[in-house]
Each structure stands twice: as structure tokens, then as C-alpha cells.
Amino acid sequence: MNRFGIIGHLDRPQIKRITEKITGWTKDNDIECRICVDLAGLVGGEEISSEKDEIWKYSDVIISLGGDGSMLSSARIAGPHDIPILGINLGSLGFLTEVSEDHIYDSLERLKNDDFKIEERMMLEIKAPDLDRESHVALNDVVFDHGYTSNLAKLDLYSNDQFVCSYDADGIIISSPTGSTAYSLSVGGPIINPLMDALIVSPISPHTLTLRTIVFPSLDKITVKAVGEGRKIRISTDGQILGNLENGQTAGVRKSGYRLKLVKLNGGSFYEILRTKLHWGARPLLNS
């Protein structure tokens, strides 16, 4: 790895200091460095800046500064171009970002010396009418919901063109295994090891008690149809709003042909992350 690209979350108070640490290190170690234009406006270095969506062209690895939201944004940029990502956690939870500020220099040395592993994650692809391009990719999830209205979303679900069920709900979440510990988990979806491939469909506040999460094979094509007269269904991927479905329109979600490559420096397992960051499996504290 001798070309580093940096994408950062400008709202983080540490972002200027961390960016200057990394760019200073790359200069001292004869590593090419490219930063997104937003960071250049904060720390200078316009001569080594690029638009965020173009930074992959100049990078062997992308360093994402921020929290999980920054990682999701970086994944949408890097995933389709087979560029690995290293996440440096400047947020709170940091489920996808494993490096803390205290270990930045050690992590950069390991990148330079190719001393790391790559973990591949399944991504999602969505196609729908009236999007700004033919398809979009997501790492965590695709969400169909009622938007800013109080009406229930009325949706029909199909798998490989076979009717599955109808939903009267606030919406549905179609998530990847990586996304199973995000929004899907908060509505009662299962935890799935992110190294697996699967499609998880979870209802959001369904009107009937019988609707529960369904896990589909990763090779299935999931189709969502809007069936509520006069009601728009909002579509978002990884928290970013894409557009709407009108009554009678359909959207298709499937496993993407791209896979995210995560740089892994530590030996901690997925289950260790669950225990330490989500307090999964912890016994309740008892008063003495």
C-alpha cells in the first residue's frame, strides 16, 4: 500500500488534528496521499485533494475518519472499485471502525508494510424507477417507509417473482448481514455473522402481530411493490434518501456483484465486538 486516500466526517472535533497527523506521516514516509476536497478546505492541501467520489482513482486504500456513518459513505465509494477501507474511529460506537486515535501511527506502518488481513462483506444493490442512476449500492440496508406522513406504508413483497406477503406497517428494512446489527436489529431482526451472505427482510412496526423477519438466500431477487393509493413510499440506502415509489411501482433489491473489502488489523472476532460494543450476552447487574 503506497497510495492513501482520506475521507473524513467534518463535524468531528478531532478531524483536523487526525488528518494532519496522517498527511504528515505520509509525507515523512514517501507515501502518496490524496484527501477529499472537504478536508482540504479544513487543513489545506488543495494540491492533493480530489472530489470524494473520485478519490478511489488515486488510492490503494481509503482511510475513513469518523464513525460508522463515515464508513458507510466510504463503502459506497470504494466497494464498486475493489478498494479496501480502513476505519479510524472518531465517533462513539464505531462498530465498523476498529482503529482508535492512539493506534494511528502503528496502523499506518502496518498498511505500508502490507501487514493486515482483508475481510470481505456482502453489499446490496437496488434498482427502482426515477433514481438518479440505474442502480445504487448499500452496505447496511435498503429501507422502504412512509416518509414524513403518519399513514401506514402498504407494500407487497416478492422473492424471485413469487408473492411472499403484504405489509401494512411503517415500512420494511432489507439488510445485509453487516446491516443486521444496525437498523434491522432495532426492529427485532436477527444478528447474522457478517461473513455470511443473506438477505434479511424486517417489518417496521407492523400492524399485525404475525409479521416477523424473514431471511432469504443471498441469490434471491427481492421485489417491493407500493400498493397504497395516493401514498408515496420513501426509499433510502444506508440512511441516505434516494427517492420514492408511487402506487403500483416496484423496486428490486439483490446481492450486489461488488463486495466491500475491510482492512482488519486486530484479531478480535465479531462476537467480541458484540460483547464489548453492544453488551451482547451481558448478565444484568444486581444490587449488592
Enzyme catalytic residues: 68
- Could you tell me which of 126, 133, 131 has the C-alpha nearest to residue 254? 126
Where residue 140 falls (left for φ over 0; alpha for ψ -120 to 50; beta otherwise) is alpha
- Distance CA(74)–CA(153), nearest Å, equals 30
DSSP one-letter string for 198-259: EEEEEEES-SSTT---EEEETTPPEEEEE--TT-PEEEEETTEEEEEE-TT-EEEEEEEEEE
Decide: 138 and 123 in contact? Cβ < 8 Å: yes
> Which string of b and e fits 186-195 if b means at least 16 CB within 10 Å?
ebebbebebe
In the numeric block, the cell 476536497 is attached to: 37
- Distance CA(146)–CA(132), nearest Å, equals 21
